[in-house]
């Protein structure tokens, strides 16, 4: 059984690269890749992924805010944060968000 994955990444090149890596893994099924998290609740409820790859810094709503929103209706789905930040504050905020 393949694990289903959703990606949230605003950088088109990175989104495509990560999508390609997931699609090349026979144990993973890329359900969708989104450039923002503005419809994250509807998307998570619709796709019901096994896990999510989430960028921290995105336009409109940050990945951290999206995780907080997701955790209000889904406390089980694992979320792996993607980031170019190496500062402790963003990492700490992501962990606190769930």
Q: How far apart are CA 24 and CA 86, in angstroms?
A: 28
pLDDT 10s digits, 25-81: 999 999 999 999 999 999 999 999 999 999 988 999 999 999 999 999 999 999 998
Q: Tokens in use for 47?
A: 């796709």
DSSP codes, 5-51: EEEE-S-HHHHHHHHHHHHT-TTEEEEEEES--TTHHHHHHHH--SE
**Phi and psi at residue 55, in whole multiples of 5°?**
-75, 145
Return the higher-pLDDT residue of 89 and 75: 75
């Amino acid at each position: 059984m393949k694990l289903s994955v959703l990606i949230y990444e605003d950088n088109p090149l990175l989104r495509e690269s990560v999508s390609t890596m997931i699609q090349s893994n026979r144990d993973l099924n890329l359900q969708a890749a989104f450039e923002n998290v503005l419809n994250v609740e509807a998307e998570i409820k619709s796709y019901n992924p096994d896990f999510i790859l989430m960028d921290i810094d995105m336009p409109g709503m940050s990945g951290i805010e999206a995780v907080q929103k997701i955790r209000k209706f889904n406390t089980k789905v694992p979320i792996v944060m993607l980031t170019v930040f190496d500062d402790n504050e963003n990492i700490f905020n992501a962990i606190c968000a769930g």
